[in-house]
Amino acid sequence: MIKIVNVVGARPNFMKIAPIQREMVKYKHIEPLLVHTGQHYDERMSKLFFDDLEMPKPDIYLNVGSASHAVQTAKIMIEFEQVLLEHQPHLVVVVGDVNSTAACSLVAVKLGIKVAHVEAGLRSFDRTMPEEINRLLTDAISDFLFVTEQSGLVNLKREGILDSKVHFVGHVMIDSLIHFTKKAALSTIKQTLGLADHSYALITLHRPGNVDNRENFCKLLNAFELIERDIKIIFPIHPRSKKMIKEFGLEERIDRMNNLILMEPLGYLDFMNLLHSARFVLTDSGGIQEETTYLGIPCLTMRENTERPVTVESGTNILVGSNTDLILSEAKKILSGNEKKGKIPPLWDGKAAKRIVDLLFNC
């Protein structure tokens, strides 16, 4: 029996682990153990995501909570070490680039346990991003590196990672998107909000560079104020953004936008339902750049860089930073029917998890 620990720490991890966990249970000789570090934890939202993604309740919940990067990483390492010492797994699977990814990888490697990193090789080349440090560290010490796009292969080779460790498998997040398309279509969120298909733009916004900086946040609001004159905007607000709106005294500006619908964070299925039918998306998220590329939906990424260059080179993504004029001009192109067209990258076919588990089982 092969015992494998699958780690999740924050909501973006759930969509990546779900298809892997689902695939592993098909193998009689694999015993998957699901560990939730609790790095980001909201009881209602976590339960909603687990239910939406048909994931089992975590076998182990570490309850580390929010803290500074150093404190949070240390807490995860202390708690996760005890899990590994007790259960003695053959392998630890980590996904993405959150603190849990780097912390759990480091603990496993120091105990002589192999690590598989799903979504390896992505690089923004911006070391001010904590996620970039997590990606670099995790890839440097992993035994299996599962890559989602061609840039990952190039980056890992440049960094001296052995070719034998690297596997181009596609993207498990797209596995989830494909698997739950029909279920997401059953969501009634559009009816609840009174929305017709393609009659709205969708915003996600949470990165510190955008929301912790008052000047940048105001530049984005300037753009939103102009865009909402032409199209309704749906804004499921991240707790960080909500907090900073209050701290910066921007509530009145938000309230004056009559065509902007501010709402609490949504579960996976409701959000996917809105995403499928959005006219375009404004985001600073990583995964949404990929989901919109797969769906062929125009995406304006409010960042100066991206660790997912295939979404710009082949997909529907355009980097606009916090430049009000650029955001507005690109939005107007989309609304006039002149949006950027894209194509689906190689191996984004819903079978990435199967490739990953087959490789792990046969190694």
Q: Which residues are known to be catalytic?
A: 206
Q: How many CB atoms are closer than 10 A to CB 25?
A: 12
Give CA–CA dist 65/42, Å, rounded.
10
Residues with Cβ within 8 Å of 298's Cβ and at least 6 positions away in sequence, in order, are 279, 280, 281, 292, 316, 318, 334, 339, 340
Sign of CA dihedral 278, 283, 288, 294: positive
In the 3-class helix/strand/coil scheme, how is 205-240 assigned residue by residue?
Answer: CCCHHHHCCHHHHHHHHHHHHHHCCCCEEEEECCHH
Using CA atoms, how far residue 265 sits from 155, 162, 240, 271, in Å, is: 34, 41, 11, 9
The side-by-side arrangement of strands in the sheet containing 91-95 is 60-61, 30-36, 2-8, 91-95, 114-120, 144-147, 166-168
The gap from C-alpha 361 to its chain's centroid, in whole angstroms, comes to 26
**Which helix (H) or strand (E) segment is 147 a member of?**
strand 144-147
Q: b/e map of 156-179 (b: 16 or more CB within 10 Å)?
A: beeeebeeebbbbbbbbbbbbbeb
